[in-house]
Amino acid sequence: MAEVDVSFPLFHQQPREGWQTVTDERLFDHPHLSVDRVEALTPHRREQPVPWLVAKRKAAVAIAPVTASGEFVLIPQERIPVGQECLEFPAGQIDGPVADVTCDLVIETAMRELLEETGYALAPGGTLEPLGWFLPSQGFTDEHVYLFKAEPVCVVSRPSPDSSEHISPVRLVSSGELRRMIAAHEITTALTLALYARMAAKGSI
């Protein structure tokens, strides 16, 4: 049986002292993205509300899969906003409102995205290690991404990405090659860099 830690801290955007939303107007609404025009008072800006555009997105997951031989599983994925194929760890949004997110739902999403995008799953005796969460672009969006390391993983099926995605065959790289690719700007996506940084900080890479 694979081992999954089902207890870990969840991100909560709670009221904090000195922060006050004065106005909040929805400008655009879509199942994957909405845009609000807000005015807010902050701890150091109390005289006049600060206007801001906030992109609101679902929570997401990102997984660093590692094989029994210690290789990381990366996917080359076409990314329309930047017009290029990016090499990254598998990831995806969590279905449902942020307020309804639970640890079980986060784990379920992580396991599903891993399988759909790579064809890999946890091997018997494998572990899914929670590595916290990070804010990918806090200057314009409230999106937060839960990070995981899955080890060891093995091939169990063919990848079956969403119809809106194009993912080329996976690439297996050693930890040294992954480090070189990051240093050489061959890997540039925030979620992959965040996962690498979190694993490095915890001494697991």
Q: Where are the domains of the chain?
A: 20-56, 58-201
Q: Note the pLDDT of residue 42.
A: 95
Cβ contact 106:98 at 8 Å:
no
Q: Note the pLDDT of residue 3.
A: 59
State pLDDT tens for residues 128-138: 999 999 999 99
Q: Note the pLDDT of residue 4.
A: 67
The residue behind tokens 């050693």 is 174
Work out the percent of the chain whose per-residue pLDDT is above 90. Answer: 81
Q: Note the pLDDT of residue 144.
A: 96
Separation of alpha carbons 62 and 83, rounded Å: 21
Under-50 pLDDT residues of the chain: 1
Read off the tokens for 22. 């004065």
Burial class (CB in 10 A: 0-12, 13-18, 19+), 148: buried
Q: Note the pLDDT of residue 71.
A: 97
Q: What is the CATH number of domain 58-201?
A: 3.90.79.10
Q: In what order do the strands lie in the sheet with 33-42?
A: 20-30, 33-42, 45-56
State pLDDT tens for residues 68-100: 999 999 999 999 999 999 999 999 999 988 889
